[in-house]
Amino acid sequence: MASTAGSTGPANILKSLVIITITHKRLHTFAAPGLGFRICVAGIPIDPVCSVCKDKSFTSSRMHTMEEKDHQNASKYNMRTRMIEGNYGSKHWDYNHHIVPPMSASCAYRLENVHRGAEGFAHFADTEDTQSEPILIYDRLDEPARGMLEEKLACAEGGDFAICFATGMAAISAALGVTTKQGDEIVAHHTLYGCTYSLLANWLPRQGITTTFVDLKDQGALWTSLTGKTRVVYLETPVNPTLDLLDIAAIKQSIVEVNATRPSGHEILLIVDNTFATPFCQRPLALGADLVVHSLTKNIGGFGTDMGGAVVAAAKYQRDLLMYRKDFGGVLSPKSAWPILVYGLPTLATRMVNQQKSAMEVASFLESHPMIEKVIYPGLKSFPQRDLAKRQMFSYDNKFAPGSVVYFVLKGNNEEAQIAAEMLIDDVAKHSRCLTLAVSLGQIRTLIEAPYSMTHASLPDELKSSIGISPGGIRLSLGLEDWRDIIADLSRALSNVDADKHQVQQNFSSEPA
Ligand SMILES: Cc1ncc(COP(=O)(O)O)c(C=O)c1O
């Protein structure tokens, strides 16, 4: 496609004109030193100096239009816009021409010569070099759609980089994998997503990494649980499923005080699972977290079609995470990265605004219902940690953003409440159109489940009871249905449960003694 110096004639002029309209990236490829190509217009070699990369031989000033646009303007735009428009300066793809990023499906990539292949391996995870385009070699190392998603996620969370994994659990495993080693200790909040709890309680101890579970709402408990071997403090906030909040800034302050007494390289790191809040409602890195983990399967993916996970952090953790992902292999598939990049993240803000509105309406309805013992939602005035909620959970435009999950408990002793909760969910599963019995959360459909016997079954019963995961507790993740329909379906189901309970009581009392 490139002409050699000295060629003339209409065909070559046309070819040369085509060349100067293609991107900088391609020109680097075509005009690679040693290939004997030169860029010519009408047979005359042109060697201008590029205004962005200062490289003499590759391009004309027009070719950096989109990159300049990004460099100059990206940070002037609001995050809601940036999550849709993306990064025009992305080196992962020729973004000048595609409005929707192309879906790539190639496990391996064609390389022009061995030198380029060798360069790709040598430069993999080279975090110093932020200017060059990635040299694509093999999907597990780097891939365009995933790369663009990572750029957007880093921007949304305010981190230097994001690395995407096959699932949220793969991301959590990687975050802990690069920050701990044999003999280290982790201090974690006592309530965690069931599989995270199981990872810490059952699997990491096999590698000599132990966890102390404490109530991180209590700063005293944090201080007494830290030892010379503690390397990580790990938490979710809001906590799944009880929606307790943990004060990220206050916990970080304690860690900073302890770290001041430690030699360099032995500092304690704070890892926050931001899945429930999403970056729309809360940015833990700005509050002091060292690493943020996400299940992209939830609100960021948003449509329930793909699993994924991400770690977002400061540049110093990037290389280890890339190497870890390369060697452990839990990489996000490009076919899953693409919908999250194209549909999920760009619509996060819009979905969250609507879901929060529904969560508020439904929580208020439940709070006034005589069959409900308590409703936990950070948006309610009755929420016990309302001050912290307002301080910690706010959107990109500084509006209070309490999230899209509600937790509520039915009345009665544990046994009665559990039966009532099961009856309610089963009724919903059978009759409701706009509530679905399913685990997971953050989808466009409203999902309902019983954490005690489902998502948090791996926690010991005594622990569940002591930390507020009640047998009669129900987790509701609000979707995008009309909130009036959600309330109508819940109201009907509650009436049915009430009627059934009375029927059972009547039958019981009319039985002969
Ligand atoms: C708070 C939280 N973190 C992590 C995960 C794990 O994510 P994944 O299912 O994508 O592995 C979940 C899953 O429900 C979760 O609720």
Query: Mean pLDDT, 10 residues at a time, over the chain (513 residues)?
Result: 37 43 36 37 43 38 44 72 78 72 89 93 84 87 93 95 98 98 97 92 97 97 96 97 97 97 94 98 98 98 97 97 98 97 96 98 98 98 98 97 98 95 96 95 97 89 90 97 97 94 70 63
Closest-lying ligand 1 atom to the alpha carbon of residue 440: 14
Which pLDDT score, from 0 to 100, does residue 284 have?
A: 98
Angle, helices 414-431 vs 483-510, to 10°: value is 130
For residue 295, report the distance from its CA to the centre of ligand 1, in Å: 5
C-beta of 167 in contact with ligand 1 (< 6 A): yes
C-beta of 309 in contact with ligand 1 (< 6 A): yes
What pTM did the predictor assign?
0.85
Which pLDDT score, from 0 to 100, does residue 326 have?
A: 97
8 A C-beta contact, residue 297 and residue 439: no
For residue 197, report the distance from its CA to the centre of ligand 1, in Å: 11
C-beta of 236 in contact with ligand 1 (< 6 A): yes
C-beta of 278 in contact with ligand 1 (< 6 A): no
Residues 6+ apart with CB under 8 A from 297: 167, 168, 306, 307, 308, 309, 440, 442
Which pLDDT score, from 0 to 100, does residue 88 have?
A: 65
Q: Which residue lies with its CA nearest to atom 9 of ligand 1?
A: 168
Q: How many CA atoms lie within 13 A of 93 on its CB side?
A: 21
Which pLDDT score, from 0 to 100, does residue 103 have?
A: 84
C-beta of 193 in contact with ligand 1 (< 6 A): yes
8 A C-beta contact, residue 140 and residue 329: yes
Which pLDDT score, from 0 to 100, does residue 443 have?
A: 97
CA distance 18 to 129: 30
CA distance 392 to 373: 27
Which pLDDT score, from 0 to 100, does residue 19 have?
A: 39
For residue 195, report the distance from its CA to the centre of ligand 1, in Å: 8
Q: How many CA atoms lie within 13 A of 287 on its CB side?
A: 23
C-beta of 299 in contact with ligand 1 (< 6 A): no
Of 176, 196, 271, 298, best ligand 1 pocket probe by most atoms within 8 Å of the beta carbon? 298
Closest-lying ligand 1 atom to the alpha carbon of residue 309: 10
For residue 402, report the distance from its CA to the centre of ligand 1, in Å: 19
In this structure, the dihedral spanned by the alpha carbons of residues 60, 64, 69 and 71, taken in order and rounded to 10 degrees, is -120
